[in-house]
Structure 1
């Protein structure tokens, strides 16, 4: 891709002409075709990655306890599981290129993971996430997408343009993340809001990513139906029916969204402190952090008498259960879930490897459902605003968070959209007010990193 996009401050006519030259240039058309072709194998790799992770997770938290004679994992089950996760992760973090992927406390940003760092990121995710690490699969999936895209380009020597390689890496990441965020729309909005671009520059980056994610989503869906494998994508299959939000929902919803933002920000601050603490004696302190996560999960089971699996893992399964049966949890159980999982998540953010979004969404939803017993505050509005507020607080992308909440709420989203948007904006603003240190400013696609952390 050799044509330079017009600057953001160019006149509309010049910008349109520049965009036309870029889109119709032979190099850019080849880039679009390459993104479609890459989207298919990347989707296949991501499908089997997530499917294998889900099968291992089921074996650790369902099959193995049943084989040991338990109907559900006992309260102490997370302790050996998380110690093992720490022992596996420690040498990956300290010895393998890329350190097992970027730290989840940094969000989903940063340079794409290159081919040399990809094995460590995949191994860290597959070996530790099924053991109950309180993180999601979205960051490892993006690493798989960018790493495979760059590896394919390198092998084929398809392009020597660094900017084109960066676009391909971003397209690979977008194709991967779209598979678990409800399709290309949410991934595209995330790209638009996260890239911080505008005008022709944005369109030139967006088109390859849309094509790659659409091709990937199509393959991902087809293979899911063909193989019957479960992938554990973030989805709500049963949402309680609701009505238009009224004054009571907004009266309680706005402070609830602010509370969610404060809780998420506090957990991320704990993650940043954990990063500093694990900077020395990294291997041993990684194991200690994983053990501390296991203690938090065991504490939840002891306090509530419920399965520790509800607080463990990324949270998408528990989120689905909470949405389908919100009254199956007492307020005390929800408070314990937020406290124990929130503490575990904060520790994991700064020491373990995975994605930060899925657990945050569960924490926000549990907080909102716990508050839904207040007079005039409905359960369905609480679910909607909890998802939106938590996603906005953890990603710093209010539009993406609102779109994600709308997609998850399905048919109930139309009535709840005013509250969803309000909660997203409130959470974003409160997060900016209370956080001490922010993430690095968003940048455009960067060159992949190849050096260890």
Structure 2
């Protein structure tokens, strides 16, 4: 009974600490994302407008990306080296002393137009807050607090505690269990508490309306109350095309990464100029704003689903893939999830616009699930994210989303198994696996020790 009481006291302490960690991590993540969005608005809207331009001039687009590249190059020279590389998968651990470098590198990437997502710096920020709270528990339980902080922070952009909880649970299932730490089921108790208090920051409580954050949305999708047989066949095409593009992006980025190691600053600068050039070329040929090609894509999902020109959608999907590869390979810092989601959304929208009998809700859900699955290797998380993003179309989008999640996960599993010298069960050796084996930080006597 004494052992049971000890475990109960430990769990109660973890729950209490997790509640505080979740709220603090959510506030910090909201502040960072607000800073990034504010900088984006100033750099890409306010300042060009002050020059009398209706849209950013070509020299402005190239100049802003070049400045962002130089900021990242500066950040990777600081202690912490800008955080782990986005090709190394998700990381749920970060030392507080490294956060300045991590956040500066992410700011230079996200606000200045690189095609990476915000999830990596938010995970690091939340994990760092969890580390600060972990001093009162042992190394094993400290992993739970770090995971709780990371989850509450990334929940700010995922927008749903359900998606975040499934992502963390799948990460726990991939991770080795610490001898003195709780198993996945028990570890999720304090994690869920952290997600709950973190979500209160977003949605509010009582008369307090919460802190406004941008919401992930695919826009207004046509109703899809029942599955159409054609969507299963076309969904396979959408899933395979999305998988091919995301795999092309990540594998090309790995090759570029090897080249970029020789001259990191030059690689970042050249890649920044190339990404800007691609965005300008798409604007000149299709009339699409440069921000559809630039950035993570999370704010442009609705724009893509509202587009009906097949050629434009194909061009956007392909060019976004190239910009995605350049951003990852050159060393811009951020996450790999949201650009893959955007590519899947664009492919799905193109399929719906160009293939007979294909419904936009079903194809977009299938593409999003495939993109998320192939980059994460977490089929349940990919499925849930796709369904929630397309839920306005109706519950029937679940079946095409399952198809996409299965295709993406199988493709990733096969490709990872064929990679020489990669152990796909070890989260510390995930170069090129882009998140499939994400795990919390290992148990250590120093809870501030980084994971990579």
TM over 0.5: yes
Residue number among 214, 217, 222 corresponding to 2:196 in the alignment: 214
CA deviation map 1:167-200 (0-9, x unaligned): 2111110111112212211111111212226997
Residue number among 100, 116, 122 corresponding to 1:119 in the alignment: 100
SS in 2 for 1:180: helix
Q: Give the aligned partner of residue 163 of structure 1.
A: 140
CA distance in 1, matches of 2:34, 2:211: 6
1:352 correspondence with 2:347: no
CA distance in 2, matches of 1:88, 1:25: 47
Change (3 A) 1:426 1:197: closer
- Normalized against structure 2, the TM-score is what? 0.87
Q: Give the aligned partner of residue 428 of structure 2.
A: none
Change (3 A) 1:449 1:25: closer
Q: Give the aligned partner of residue 239 of structure 2.
A: 257
Change (3 A) 1:103 1:232: farther
Q: Give the aligned partner of residue 172 of structure 1.
A: 149
CA distance in 2, matches of 1:382, 1:118: 39
Q: Give the aligned partner of residue 191 of structure 1.
A: 168
Change (3 A) 1:96 1:133: same
Please identify, of 196-205 and 387-396, the stretch whose mean Cα deviation from structure 2 is larger. 196-205
CA distance in 2, matches of 1:183, 1:439: 31
Please identify, of 394-403 and 233-242, the stretch whose mean Cα deviation from structure 2 is larger. 233-242
CA distance in 2, matches of 1:421, 1:452: 32
CA deviation map 1:276-330 (0-9, x unaligned): 112222222222222222222222222323211111111111102223x232xx2
Please identify, of 366-375 and 197-206, the stretch whose mean Cα deviation from structure 2 is larger. 197-206
CA distance in 2, matches of 1:170, 1:452: 12
Residue number among 126, 148, 158 corresponding to 1:181 in the alignment: 158
Please identify, of 377-386 and 193-202, the stretch whose mean Cα deviation from structure 2 is larger. 193-202
CA distance in 2, matches of 1:452, 1:251: 42
Q: Give the aligned partner of residue 406 of structure 1.
A: 387
1:129 correspondence with 2:124: no
Q: How far 1:385 sits from its partner (Å)?
A: 1.0
- Check the 8 A contact 1:79/1:295 in 2, yes or no: yes
- Normalized against structure 1, the TM-score is what? 0.87
Q: How far 1:440 sits from its partner (Å)?
A: 4.2
SS in 2 for 1:423: helix
Residue number among 312, 320, 326 corresponding to 1:333 in the alignment: 312
CA distance in 1, matches of 2:307, 2:210: 28
Q: Give the aligned partner of residue 280 of structure 1.
A: 262
Change (3 A) 1:206 1:449: same
Change (3 A) 1:346 1:444: closer
CA distance in 1, matches of 2:236, 2:281: 31
Q: How far 1:364 sits from its partner (Å)?
A: 0.9
CA deviation map 1:64-102 (0-9, x unaligned): 221121222244542111111111111211x21221121
Q: Give the aligned partner of residue 378 of structure 2.
A: 397
Change (3 A) 1:243 1:439: farther
Q: Give the aligned partner of residue 18 of structure 1.
A: none
Change (3 A) 1:151 1:219: same
Change (3 A) 1:249 1:348: same
Where do 5+ consecutive residues of structure 2 fail to align?
426-436
SS in 2 for 1:100: coil
CA distance in 2, matches of 1:450, 1:189: 25
Where do 5+ consecutive residues of structure 1 fail to align?
4-20
1:85 correspondence with 2:68: yes
Change (3 A) 1:82 1:450: farther
1:364 correspondence with 2:344: yes
Q: How far 1:128 sits from its partner (Å)?
A: 2.9
